[in-house]
Amino acid sequence: MTKGRFAPSPTGRMHMGNMFCALLSWLSAKSKGGEWLLRIEDIDPGRSREEYARLLMEDLDWLGLEWDGEPVVQSRRSEIYEHYFHQLQQRGLTYPCYCTRADLLATQAPHESDGRVAYKGTCRNLPPQPGRQGATRLLVTDQDIRCSDGHYGEYTVNLARQVGDFIIRRKDGAWAYQLAVVVDDALMGVTEVVRGRDLLLSTPQQMYLGGLLGFPIPHFIHFPLLCNTEGQRLSKRDKSLDMGSLREHLTARQIIGRLAYLAGLTPAPDPVGAKDLLPLFSWEKVPREDVVVEKM
């Protein structure tokens, strides 16, 4: 059985980009007769709020996007992450890193659209540094990883050259996204991951880490980003396109209808229910180029 998932971070009210992800991932799983799981990714203690988690579940329910089973909450799973983290440590696959972002930017220019730089292993062979608190990085090998995306097709990434050893635990002790998501997807039985194309480079990292831990690798499907009229991807700063604002003047069917139109599933942004879209859904209809969203 296909098991998809939606894994929002409760750091603000859901916006159109979040809802686009929710709808596409729901349709992809449900059109195959599968399950759609919900995970609250609240491992960033400085930004996550319980109130936002409550609101996003309320918004999903209002939109008619029902999830299966109980939501998984990452902030309650620290002991699980610790278990797999120690496995990697005991195998000599991790090391502490004391570099700041300023240190990284001083040595090279960002080469990814999101400002990412490839880590060059500065701290890999440092002697022990008693009393210093660092982040923990995972050693990567110099190998090409071939990814087969369900929407964008085949691409190859060399982690050593394009990413470098990546962080699995932050300096403040919080769990990094890559470790938590790999462990959770495996233990939740997720077989299909649907998310925005800005996370294409995360796929080979998660395949590599999942392989080290002996986990099955899910099928990854990425979709184009929703952007504002300046070409910037939507964020929680776009208040006019968040659920709090949209629910003041639009019905759930109107919002779903406009999302379906942006996804290429319908010829016009007419009101429609999520379940009505199931017979219409196909990844072949979804555009590959980013989509500009004007006022709703």
In angstroms, the CA 82 to CA 245 distance is 39
Average pLDDT, the chain: 93
Q: What is the DSSP string of 234-293?
A: P-TT-GGGBHHHHTTT--HHHHHHHHHHHTTSSSS-----TGGGGGG--GGGS-SS-EE-
Q: What is the mean pLDDT of residues 142-157?
A: 97
- The reported pLDDT for the residue numbered 164 is 96
Using the predicted structure, report yes or no on whether residue 213 has a pLDDT greater than 90: yes
pLDDT of 228 reads 86
pLDDT exceeds cutoff 70 at 108: no
115 band by pLDDT with thresholds 50, 70 and 90: low
Give per-residue pLDDT as tens, 30-76.
999 999 999 999 999 899 999 999 999 999 999 999 999 999 999 99
Q: What is the pLDDT of residue 113?
A: 46
| Residue range 219-260, pLDDT digits in tens | 999 999 999 888 888 876 776 689 999 999 999 999 999 999
Q: Is the pLDDT of residue 156 over 90?
A: yes
- The token pair at 7 is 């894994």
Q: CB atoms < 10 A from the CB of 105, how many?
A: 12
- High-pLDDT (> 90) share of the chain, %: 84
Residues found in the chain: 296
Give percent of the chain above pLDDT 70: 93
